[in-house]
């Protein structure tokens, strides 16, 4: 039986340049040698990586937020998420921070739901999506948000309603889509207890324990 599994591989890069450097990401141009010996030029966004949190309460509802996303000119319903701003940062710690900052919520039970590359044809972003359960209100003052986050709406929606919205073409955020469908699959299959632990290795973005 053939094992269906992604494998790490790196083709030779003859030359590279960085024509644009932004606040959090940059654009790189590589001259890449293909297996037949030809050289192709590839432009892509260099991204530090992200974490996202599918927070599930004891009533089977998912915590979601609505945020304006300028590149697509939409307000999208999303799950809490954020960049891995600190090199080598533990993704679990980053996810816990994002859940607190965006929703003022904490969780006692954390597991890795799935890992994805968002747009591997043009961006190096890798995202680890966590499942967080046993939710409660965080202590202390709320984190002071700004820019697009200052206009966010929060809601708790049954998982099945999110899946319906995904399949109807009404919900588009990739982390919400992947997270909702992945949780539905694991609930129908081996169960949440079969998920990887929150500190599971992540080769795409190695981190300190």
Residues catalogued as catalytic: 149
Q: Are strands 81-83 and 39-46 parallel, antiparallel or unpaired?
A: unpaired
CA dist list (Å): 174 to 77, 106, 134, 178, 181: 10, 23, 24, 6, 11
Give the DSSP letter of residue 193: G
Region of 193 (left: φ > 0; alpha: ψ -120 to 50; beta: rest) is alpha
54 backbone dihedrals φ, ψ, rounded to 5°: -90, 100
């Amino acid at each position: 039986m053939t094992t269906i599994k992604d494998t790490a591989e790196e083709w030779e890069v003859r030359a590279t340049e960085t024509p644009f450097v932004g606040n959090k990401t940059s654009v790189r141009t590589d001259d890449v040698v293909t297996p037949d010996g030809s050289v192709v030029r590839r432009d892509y966004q260099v991204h530090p990586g992200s974490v996202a949190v599918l927070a599930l309460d004891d009533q089977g509802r998912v915590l979601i937020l609505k945020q304006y996303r300028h590149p697509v000119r939409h307000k999208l319903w999303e799950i809490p998420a954020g960049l891995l701003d600190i090199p080598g940062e533990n993704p679990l710690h980053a996810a816990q921070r994002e859940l607190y900052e965006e929703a003022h919520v904490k969780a006692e039970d954390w597991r890795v739901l799935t890992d994805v590359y968002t747009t591997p044809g043009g961006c190096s972003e890798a995202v680890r999506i966590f499942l967080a359960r046993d939710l409660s209100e965080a202590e202390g003052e709320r984190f002071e948000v700004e820019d697009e986050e200052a206009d966010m709406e929060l809601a708790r929606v049954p998982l099945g309603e999110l899946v319906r919205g995904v399949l109807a073409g009404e919900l588009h955020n990739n982390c919400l889509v992947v997270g909702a469908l992945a949780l539905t699959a694991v609930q129908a299959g081996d169960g949440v207890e079969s998920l990887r632990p929150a500190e599971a290795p992540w080769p795409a973005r190695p981190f300190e324990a």
